[in-house]
Amino acid sequence: MILKSALPYRGRLAPSPTGHLHVGHALTFWRAQERCRARNGRLLLRIEDLDRARSRPGFREAIFEDLEWFGLSWDEAPVFQSDREPLYLPAWRKLREAGLIYRCDCSRRDLLSAAAAPHAEDEESIYPGTCRPVSLTMPNESAPSGFNWRFRVPENAPLEFHDLCAGTQRAMAGVDFGDFVIWRKDNVPAYQLAVVIDDAAMGITEVVRGADLLLSTFRQLLLYRALRLDPPEFYHAPLITDSSGKRLAKRDSARSLRALRTSGWTPESIRAHFR
């Protein structure tokens, strides 16, 4: 395995154009930029717009404007996930051939009624395994379209990685999170798969993102392993608080960068007030 810290640093900003940029994201991006500049690295911008139903062109334009206003810049042409859809298919095929994914016909309602309690705000609940084959089985379908596809996580497997900010992280596959969707029935790769393929293809050496994605990192590490790709290093920044130490709610629209800007905040005053 190549030691990532020995490679020229490549970082990324990966906003999703599903709403206006939140101050929490902006500050995490700022940290990503600082870490990248300190290592004389290259910073890339990837717009995560695979979720067609929720991504709006207006938000896309607004994100560019907000990032620039906040003082963020990137070193290569922006990458749009929606332009890269064919790149994700070989990964689906590889996982299929390894028998590591299965077709899931559960409806949203089945899942809600059968699912265990969600672990944290926003976390997907643990899939009860209704469609999971008893053993590793290669699915018959030769293409993913029309179905949800889940990755089979090893049962009760202890996992560990070293986070550059938060230190050693541990989780139990099958207990802290369950089989997760890697391809959706509207024929788009899910976030977990797309982010792994793109970070690997773009040669990202360090992923800087919010601590609310820590559990997803375990999922992604399983995908890196299954696809025989080298994972980047991870730096999960603590969630942002205001100057009194209070955590900011993610969906608080008053905390969008534009709302703050309209009410007279500057990038400098935002960076001084929130941390």
Q: Supply the minimum distance, in Å, between the C-beta of residue 80 and ligand GLU.
A: 12
Q: Supply the minimum distance, in Å, between the C-beta of residue 224 and ligand GLU.
A: 13
List binders of ligand GLU among 193-222 (CB under 6 A).
195, 209, 213
Q: Find out whether 223 and 182 touch, Cβ atoms under 8 Å.
A: yes
Residue 152 vs 219, nearer CB to ligand GLU: 219
Residue 103 vs 209, nearer CB to ligand GLU: 209
Buried/exposed code over 97-136 (b: 16+ C-beta within 10 A; e: otherwise): eeebbbbbebeeeebeeebeeeeeeeebebbbbebbeeee
Residue carrying the six token digits 């810290």: 5
Q: Supply the minimum distance, in Å, between the C-beta of residue 128 and ligand GLU.
A: 26
User: CA dist 21 to 134, 190, 200, Å?
Assistant: 43, 21, 25
Residue 21 vs 103, nearer CB to ligand GLU: 21
In this structure, how many other beta carbons lie within 10 angstroms of the beta carbon of residue 93? 13
List binders of ligand GLU among 176-195 (CB under 6 A).
195
Q: Does position 44 bind ligand GLU by CB under 6 A? A: no
Whether residue 250 lies in the annotated active site: yes
Q: Does position 16 bind ligand GLU by CB under 6 A? A: yes
Which one of the spans 9-17, 116-124, 223-231, 246-254 is the region binding ligand GLU (CB under 6 A)? 9-17
Q: Which residues contact 203 (CB under 8 A, 6 or more apart)?
A: 7, 10
Residue carrying the six token digits 């969600």: 118
Residue 21 vs 260, nearer CB to ligand GLU: 21
Which one of the spans 14-22, 125-133, 156-164, 230-238 is the region binding ligand GLU (CB under 6 A)? 14-22
Cα–Cα nearest to 237, from 78, 74, 25: 25
Rg (the chain; Cα; Å): 19
Residue 32 vs 270, nearer CB to ligand GLU: 32
Cα atoms in the Cβ-side hemisphere of radius 13 Å centred on 120: 9
Catalytic residues: 250
Chain residues that interact with ligand GLU, rule: CB under 6 A: 14-16, 48, 195, 209, 213
